[in-house]
Chain A
């Protein structure tokens, strides 16, 4: 099926209008010697065949395991109305709202989404989305470097280790130095961070809760940074923002994060949503599209893309970022999700996560040989040490229907026996109990 509506007669008539006899003639600018050397693509299939092929592939994935894996990406509940509304093709078959008159739906939704992000983070303004949490962190970094004219960035050890790898990849060809400040007992190490700050430091990057699930109050770090003319970038988990001290409250300059937990399916890693919010002072240095509220010719309220002077289609090589297409539909998802959950709903999700995670901590802590990293408050995720290689334990647990957590050895050499366990509102007391019982049985084997 090629979804082409032309009948033979129409095609003939159109070719005549073009003054040619065949479609191939229209391609005469392609030199004969540049004809494809091969084009080994299988012949087309019907919708029935293609659907059943993908059903077969989908069944090969272990998506049905009882999931305690997080690491910044969580199995949260998505209300049915989210899919129903995002599935309206007026939204998903449109493109970037260059023509505001026929895009007020997208534009107003983005404006409202920007408002949601501002309210979640207590920041002044947010953009219309970036690719994902990791690339948003990189964009924040670039923003801080340009704003300060400095070349060093200090990265707290509690930041997602994959994000850390992204930052170093992107800056390989640039004059930017990264210093990683290892955590101390899971916490941001104030002394190390303060020692690392010098006159060429543009920013300190923090994460709350940390990759290990630990909640931090970074106020003192922000204060110290600002005293030294250093900007603070904080990556935050939006669901936790319902309850935790916000970037805005503690004076963070750029807040970023992964928006997946706001109604976006896990979907094997994407598409996700990078959100970014900042202060009025840094507004014009922020990358990405921004929607503003204005009035039209007749004085009616209207929404348009604004601050475009920063963008690549105007500024070309001098733009603040090369981002053009973003994650518009994912931002819409997040906005619909937050509108449905509302103030109390998001608080309830957060409280359920905390309570269930607390229960899981207690249950796992009772297992001989298992030790929960204590002395630190956690939100919905926590680190446990096991009496043996966590990878092996996970392998055995998978066979019993559980994805019990993320083994940390792959990201932190020396932490081979550690497991990062996440609990969301979807997990039940029964599932948590079974996790504990199964883990105990596996460890006894």
Chain B
């Protein structure tokens, strides 16, 4: 699976929400989109998902121009999980996962097998008949993620999948996304926690005011210069065998 953005711009009211983004992701992996609030992370994911019409440029997913695909062809390639997904009606976990298969023509047996596979995979078997209102925040997020994965897309887009989760569920969610990337999918997700992004992501995309500031391996993106420019902070990094951690400090005057 490959993803290529060429000169992509998205109009906004005061300024372009995205401005001339050029990006090429050629291998499966977990890719983190980072940046300050309002930098354009969600807009970038929506453009890739085909939910926002670009003012300029083109998006190519799996070698096909997104603008040439109809809505069903697009849905067969990619899946999108928005930030803070909510269910309007209090359905069960199984019923939620089945929504992810509504546009797929599967036989009754195949459908049941697919449901069981993703219930097992996302550790939801014991919660299958529970209503969403009875689940914890972490369990609910896992169920929404399973809904996005059940169509078995080549490209998975998640907008802040760890937002509002406690640390245990943040780790569980990122582990699940990492496993999916190892299974051959391209997973692109926006993240706020830079330590977790550095630890789990194969590649980072740093956005500042709608422009691509840096992209590459976490160590090459999370430099002092980039952090100062994108977040107006300086950082002290600590390395450990299981990952890295950082302590951010506001930039002092003169920095």
Chain A partners chain B: no
Q: Mark A residues whose CB is within 8 Å of B.
A: none
Residues of B within 8 A of A (CB): none
